[in-house]
Amino acid sequence: MRLSFLGAARQVTGSKFWLQTPAGNVLVDCGLYQGQEHPRVQNNLDLNIGPADIKWVLLTHAHIDHSGLIPRLYKLGFRGQVVTTAATADLCELMLLDSAHIQEEDAKFDLKKWRRYGRPGPPPQPLHTVQDVQQCLQTFQPVAYDEKIQLAPGLVVRFRDAGHILGSASIEVWLTEGDQEHKIVFSGDIGSPNRPILRDPQPPPEADFVVIESTSGDRRHKPRAESVTRLRNIIRTTIKRRGHVLIPAFAVGRTQEVLFELADFIRAGDIPQIPVFVDSPMAVEATEIFRRHPECFDQEMNQLIQSDQSPFRFPGLQIVRTREESMRINDFRKPCIIISASGMCTGGRIRHHLRHHLGHRQDTLLFVGYQAAGTLGREILDGAKRVQIFPRETHRVRCKVESLDGFSAHADQAGLLAWLERVASNTPDVFVVHGEEQAAFALSKAIVDRLGLRVHVPEVFDSYDLLDTVSLQTRAFHSPAIT
């Protein structure tokens, strides 16, 4: 029983954890590295294992930093099973195909530069193609939440709702060798409790080892109710100015949550009934996938659907599918709300709307998600007066810029500790992953101080023999950042 960390260690991207078991090799997640420095090199890193030797990929959810290298794994020889929830399998078809299109377009651009400047080495190739995605999707094995599944003698798994995005899961893994049974829990990304649409996270009961994410491990989120109130007030104020509200939002999860709140506002009469445009092809398709998976919804959401009050259908909602329909929105002169991707304004149709609206003082650009350093969204949020949206084209920022941080899909430090406390009845060893160093170490210290557990903060390619308790003891707190 050996656990190796091939990604998402002291960083928030490229989730890959290799579990060697008597039954065979297991990869928990197989995510794309999305950093700004040499992502193509990072994504070609040797996995320390032949893809053909991997029997199972256990996939926690569909976000590309967890699923995005599965097509490449298939391209390199993987022919095992990808085991995941039914909703995640459906979302992966949408998101992996989109990612492959981007890979192919990036490779075409790099090839032009390679030919123009005569750069050394072989011509650039995409990490994987649309065809690779279509083929790898045949290896997906959808399973239901809360059902124990025996993958092989001595290897049993169960997926528990993580409440992060549609279909997201924490994964319990039972390993039996001889008369000894050991249990490992992989948290996946854990959602915040009391969010709309999805059920709250369901922590698995007890474990011998826990691998826990730490994306927001160094912070506390503002109460969601506060952000919902601000959202309503921002929309009211913009309508009074006869302006438009632009909301950059990720296609999966964030768009659907915003629609939930807007539907509630309109039905309650808290805001006037104005057009709400959803202008993101992926968000439109993702919303259709949401409709197909009520098994992921919380009680309130199911009651709304049964009473014919679905937040995905309400007065004024307009689904924008074609490019021509998207262009016509910018000729609309009355107050409206435009929800479009990408969430950090790095691509997609939102950039065309920014071109038309950044210079209008009556309009509002409202961020409802984290804006990473180096993105157009972060540049605007940091107060830039003039920005470049497309090459050789700059625009003045005159519109009102607002931000809400209560819509996070990740549990904060308090939520992560509450989740872990319910899992930790066996006083497990805890491995803190999927967080920048500051967040990972802050959560690790809180776990030690409040729960008294033994904590490890692995680096990329660190490997642990889980049955060597002496080695685990000596390797705990190996970083001077935890004291």
- Per-residue model confidence as pLDDT tens digits over 63-90: 999 999 999 999 999 999 999 999 999 9
Element (H, E) at 402: strand 400-403
Q: What percent of the chain has pLDDT over 70?
A: 96
Q: Tell me how long the chain is.
A: 483
Peptide bond before residue 280 is cis, with ω within 30 degrees of 0: no
As a whole number, mean pLDDT of residues 408-420 equals: 95
Half-sphere exposure of residue 81: CA atoms within 13 angstroms, side-chain side:
10
- Per-residue model confidence as pLDDT tens digits over 153-196: 999 999 999 999 999 999 999 999 888 999 999 999 999 998 99
Helix (H, G, I), strand (E, B) or coil at 319: strand
| Predicted pLDDT of residue 372 | 72
Structure tokens at 172: 């319990």
Q: Could you tell me which of 8, 101, 19 has the C-alpha nearest to residue 57?
A: 19
- Helices H / strands E in the chain, number of each: 15, 22
DSSP 8-state class, residue 130: H
Q: How far is CA 99 from the centre of its chain?
A: 14
Domains and CATH numbers, the chain: 2-219+409-475 (3.60.15.10), 224-403 (3.40.50.10890)
Helix (H, G, I), strand (E, B) or coil at 180: strand
By the 8 A CB rule, do 419 and 411 touch?
Answer: yes
Whether 390 has a pLDDT exceeding 50, the answer reads: yes
DSSP 8-state class, residue 418: H
Whether 44 has a pLDDT exceeding 80, the answer reads: no
- Compute the distance between CA of residue 191 and CA of residue 409 in angstroms, rounded to an integer: 5
Structure tokens at 403: 């931000």
- Compute the distance between CA of residue 53 and CA of residue 172 in angstroms, rounded to an integer: 22
101 burial via Cβ count (<10 Å: 0-12, 13-18, 19+):
middle
Structure tokens at 88: 């995640």
Interaxial angle between packed helices 281-291 and 254-268, expressed in degrees from 0 to 180 and rounded to the nearest 10: 80
Cβ neighbours of residue 453 closer than 8 Å, sequence gap 6 or more: 420, 424, 427, 428, 429, 430, 447
How is 229-291 classified by DSSP, letter by letter? Answer: HHHHHHHHHHHHTT-EEEEE--TTTHHHHHHHHHHHHHHHTSS----EEEE-HHHHHHHHHHH
- Per-residue model confidence as pLDDT tens digits over 270-324: 999 999 999 988 998 999 999 999 999 999 999 998 888 888 889 999 999 899 9
As a whole number, mean pLDDT of residues 35-46 equals: 59
